[in-house]
Amino acid sequence: MPELVLVSANGGGPASPPPQEFRKHRLADAVWDAVCPDHAPSIKAILERIREGGQRAKYSEVNAAINHIRHHAEEYGWTLSHVGADKSYFPILVDPNDPRHRVYMVGPAALRAVTSGSLAAIKRIRTQARHQAMAVDLFIDNAGSRLSRRQRQQLRSCAAMMVASAELATPIIEQFETEATA
């Protein structure tokens, strides 16, 4: 029977590329202007506001800019809340006293956006954890004797942690949903 070799998704190379100097995304300032002081209901709305400001951009570029901003919140001094049922892209300052950003109001719309985005993120994580735990179990079954006992134990432990984390999320989700309907 052939030996089973576990390979990382990136082909076995380094886990992450070497650190690079931070480079600002060309649309970062335009995204800020599009979501501040009024949040934006969609990427399409952000794109339209950017275009109204005279910049050329594509939907995919705005999406890439949002991801870049989220990955580099410390460098930008702000990030965007994840989007939930409220469908609001809302800016959140890393440091509210940072002089690089003008002041904006944090009110009921911001609270709804952040709560909705948090709930959506928790639900997504819970679903992904459940799906991955099932995939790990199937992988162990399919690999059979090609996995060592230690490898099977490690994978089963990982799957058990994913299921446990999914179950921890359930009461949080229920609490969010109860408060949202109250």
Q: How many CA atoms lie within 13 A of 161 on its CB side?
A: 6
Over residues 52-106, the pLDDT tens digits come to 999 999 999 999 999 999 999 888 888 888 777 667 788 888 877 777 665 555 6
Considering the chain, what is the average pLDDT of its residues?
A: 82
The answer to whether residue 2 scores a pLDDT higher than 60 is no
Helix (H) or strand (E) holding 93: strand 91-93
Q: How many CA atoms lie within 13 A of 123 on its CB side?
A: 15
Bridge partner list, 89: 40
Question: By mean pLDDT, which of 66-70, 140-144, 155-159, 171-175 is the weakest?
Answer: 171-175
Over residues 22-62, the pLDDT tens digits come to 899 999 999 999 988 777 888 999 999 999 999 999 999 99
- Tokens 């989700």 — which residue? 173
Q: Are 48 and 31 in contact (CB under 8 A)?
A: no
What band does 142 get if pLDDT is binned at 50, 70 and 90?
Answer: very high
Q: Report the distance separating Cα 66 and Cα 68, nearest Å.
A: 5
DSSP SS3 for 80: strand
Q: How many CA atoms lie within 13 A of 97 on its CB side?
A: 0
